[in-house]
Structure 1
Amino acid sequence: MPTLVQDAMSTVVLTIGPTHSLRQAAELMSARRVGAAVVLDPDAGGIGILTERDILNSVGAGQNPEQETAQGHTTTDVVFAGPRWTLHEAAQAMAHGGFRHLIVLDEQEPVGVVSVRDIVRCWSGIPDAYDATVSAG
């Protein structure tokens, strides 16, 4: 059973810019089957995260996803995980911060994203349904 973040994280890292519309971000996230996008904005200090919840909150507030940009909804006060963190450390950081995704950095570069779903999947020993579909396909 994997016990480190590097064993559980998704290495599919969707990277977008701050000017992507929320619709574009949602389309890209859906196509890659990920719940978060890493937002690279060198002008605003580097790396942020845009999650499915950020998009949902915007649409739920009546904002137009064609006009709203990632920049306006990106979390920039991000907690990062290291690939050698234990899953327990990652789960504690998520519970403490009230979020469901951690960007995994290795030498200041995003190398993955770990989610609550990834951790639960590892701890339960149940393979990811998407992985099973892909490998059977």
Structure 2
Amino acid sequence: MFVKDAMSTVVLTIGPAHTLRQAAQLMAARRVGAAVVLDTDTSGLGILTERDILNSLGAGENPDRETAQMHTTSDVVFAAPDWTLDDAADAMVRGGFRHLIVLDDREPVGVVSVRDIMRCRSTVPERGNPILA
């Protein structure tokens, strides 16, 4: 199985000036655990994850003053749609992260997470979110 088969094609893209509160609201509305941070000034891509926001809140930082840019991981490992799920899992383990931005022709086309890989590998039917049910 390949990354293209497991990835979420819902790609939330935000700017570096978004506050952490705005990012969290957008992530919650889209039900995603990561946002691609696009800096149009540098044409760079980074990633902001739910863990980045949690770490900031845990440190007592104000989510209305902290920006995505301050917490974005910019040395991102990108996946290709034709990577195997083993390739993606290996990259995640080596890098110590849970999300990979999937690029096709230098454009973000998806995000693959540990949960996506587990869902594809599991033989157990996926259950609904009990909070939303």
SS in 2 for 1:34: coil
**Deviation at residue 82 of structure 1 after TM alignment:** 0.1
The aligned amino acid for 1:32 is R
1:1-137 matches, within 5 Å, as 3-130=1-128
Give the unaligned 5+ runs of structure 1. none
**Deviation at residue 43 of structure 1 after TM alignment:** 2.4
Q: How well do the aligned residues superpose, as a CA RMSD in angstroms?
A: 1.7
**Deviation at residue 93 of structure 1 after TM alignment:** 0.1
Q: After superposition, give the CA deviation of every residue in 1:21-70 in whole Å (9 maximum; x if it has no partner).
A: 00000000001110000000032451000000000000000000001000
Change in CA separation of 1:87 and 1:56 when aligned onto 2, cut-off 3 Å: same
- How far apart, in 2, do the equivalents of 1:67 and 1:129 lie? 37
- How far apart, in 2, do the equivalents of 1:17 and 1:127 lie? 36
Percent identity, please: 73
- How far apart, in 2, do the equivalents of 1:4 and 1:77 lie? 23
The aligned amino acid for 1:104 is V
The aligned amino acid for 2:25 is E
Q: After superposition, give the CA deviation of every residue in 1:76-100 in whole Å (9 maximum; x if it has no partner).
A: 0000000000000000000000000
**Deviation at residue 127 of structure 1 after TM alignment:** 4.5
- How far apart, in 1, do the equivalents of 2:101 and 2:24 lie? 18
- How far apart, in 2, do the equivalents of 1:4 and 1:51 lie? 23
- How far apart, in 2, do the equivalents of 1:80 and 1:23 lie? 26
The aligned amino acid for 1:42 is T
